[in-house]
Amino acid sequence: MKIIYRKISAHLFFIFFTCIIFSPYVKGKTIYLYGIIPFFDFFYLRWLGREKINTRLLIAWFWFIIILVLYGDFEFIVRIFFIIGTLYYLFYLKSIKLFSIFYNYIFLNIFIGILQFIFIYINPKIAYLLGPENLAKTFLGSFAGPANANFFSIGLLKRASGLSREVGFFASLMVITIILYIEDKDIKKDKWKSILLIIGFIISMSKMSPLLFVYFAIKKMEKYLNKIPLIISTLMIIIFLIIFSKYLFEKGFFIPRHETWNHRLGGYFIILKYNLYHLIFPIKTISEILNNYPNLLFLKELSSLKIFTSISEIILHHGIIIFFTGILLLKKLKLKTSDFLLLTLLTFNTGYITVTSYAILTYFYVFYKKRKEFK
Has this prediction a pTM greater than 0.95?
no
pLDDT of residue 371: 61
pLDDT of residue 187: 85
| Percentage of the chain exceeding pLDDT 70 | 94
Secondary structure in 3-state letters for the chain: CHHHHHHHHHHHHHHHHHCHHHCCEECCEECCHHHCHHHHCHHHHHHHHCCCCCHHHHHHHHHHHHHHHHCCCHHHHHHHHHHHHHHHHHHHHHHCCCCCHHHHHHHHHHHHHHHHHHHHHHCHHHHHHCCHHHHHHHHHHHHCCCCCCCCCCECCECCCCCCCCCHHHHHHHHHHHHHHHHHCCCCCCCHHHHHHHHHHHHHCCCCCCCHHHHHHHHHHHHHHHCCCCHHHHHHHHHHHHHHHHHHHHHCCCCCHHHHHHHHHHHHHHHHHHCCHHHHHCCCCCHHHHHHHCCCCHHHHHCHHHCCCCHHHHHHHHHCHHHHHHHHHHHHHCCCCHHHHHHHHHHCCCCCCCCCCHHHHHHHHHHHHHHHCCCC
Contacts with 357 (C-beta within 8 Å, 6 or more apart), sequence order: 17, 18, 20, 34, 173
| Cβ atoms 335, 148 nearer than 8 A | no
pLDDT of residue 357: 92
Distance of alpha carbon 101 from alpha carbon 299, whole angstroms: 43
pLDDT of residue 374: 39
pLDDT of residue 94: 93
Report residues of the chain scoring pLDDT below 50. 373-375
- Condensed to tens digits (0 to 9), the pLDDT of residues 190-236 reads 889 999 999 999 999 888 899 999 999 999 999 999 999 999 999 99
